[in-house]
Amino acid sequence: MSTHRIAVLPGDGIGVDVTAEALKVLRRIEKKFGHSFRLEEYAVGGALIDRKGVPIDAETLHGCKKADAILYGAVGGPRWDSRPLGQTPLSAILTMRKELDCFANLRPVKLYPALAEASPLKRRIVDRGVDILIIRELTGGLYYSRGRGRDGEGPARRAYDTMEYSLREIERVVRFGFQAALGRRRRLTSIDKENVLETSKFWRETVEAVAPQFPEVRVSHLLVDAAAMRLITDPDTFDVIVTENTFGDILSDEAAVLAGSIGMLPSASLGEGCPGLYEPIHGSAPDIAGKGIANPIAAILTVAMMLQHSFGMPSEARAIEQAVEAVLTRGGRTRDIASGQPGEKMLTTVEMGEAIAGEI
């Protein structure tokens, strides 16, 4: 039996709460399917700032680089908000993505039928089905601006960030998007702001240059503002979306309403040499940390993505997805996905994790 090494970084706030439940499910998979997972925990974010004064250090980075996969919770909180850029808890995940070269962020958005009432959208929209894969470029653009700063005095003060993309950065994530579309419904929507931004013009040109290599995939382009509207009015028209860093961040959070809650959305950050960085897309929500009301499903589905993409275990991944669906169908709910319908049963964070593990 081979042993798979996983670096576990719970982080701050509810990151600690939901990671514990995700690991509970992973251990059940380990037992049921006869695998061996070696878990090595590291501090990151605010937890590491309190301990060492930095959001990420060489020990944590080394642990991530030698792992077969990384399970990440969430970081941040008001107590660290006043720190300068580059020294906040959030800078830890930005550093990890860049250091590990995890350039493609996969964010599946799926509405489980049992949660149709939890979505704020009209039933005539959600009943058409929601199954979207958003692929966000993760290591370029504004978030990694090399032209960033402040200058001037008095009323002339200014701040600036520069969006920059190289051909290689765009090509590799676009190609990743085409390959993902081949395994789905073979439709790819590239989202940009081509009518305003030079980087978006370059992005669209690159998509068009790569497209002939994938003749089976139908390609379309959409401006980001139009895409934001269509996600809400016609989500069933999307299959795979590929877009740059900032647009992908915003659109995937918007898409969370389609699934009923941001607490339902997992993610995987992948790359050619990246061990695989897996995290729920929600934040640390320090106001509800430790209260037993956080939804662990995104973290649990993140483990399913880890099994699928890093360890080549589709049956094990599917077992988790089916367990989540079964618990939801029986009415199991955390506060964020409760709609007040008959048959719903409110569960704590721990109870939801136990219910899903038990179903496996």
Q: Which residues are catalytic?
A: 143, 193, 225, 249, 253
Closest residue by Cα to residue 278 from 52, 86, 102:
102
DSSP three-state, residue 343: coil
For 292, phi then psi, to 5°, come to 75, 20
* Amino acid in the structure at residue 170: I
DSSP assignment of 104-171 = EEEEEEE--GGGGGGSSS-HHHHTT--EEEEEEE-SSSGGG-SS-EEE--GGG-EEE------HHHHH
Q: Are 23 and 296 in contact (CB under 8 A)?
A: no
Torsion of CA 310, 108, 9, 89, to 10 degrees: 140
Distance CA 16, CA 10 (A): 5
- DSSP β-bridge partners for residue 3: 36
CA 208 vs CA 188, 215, 219, 246, 328: distances in Å: 12, 11, 9, 21, 41
CA 39 vs CA 26, 114, 205, 317, 331: distances in Å: 10, 33, 44, 18, 32
Closest residue by Cα to residue 242 from 194, 310, 182, 170:
170
Which residue in the block uniquely carries the two structure tokens 């994790």? 353
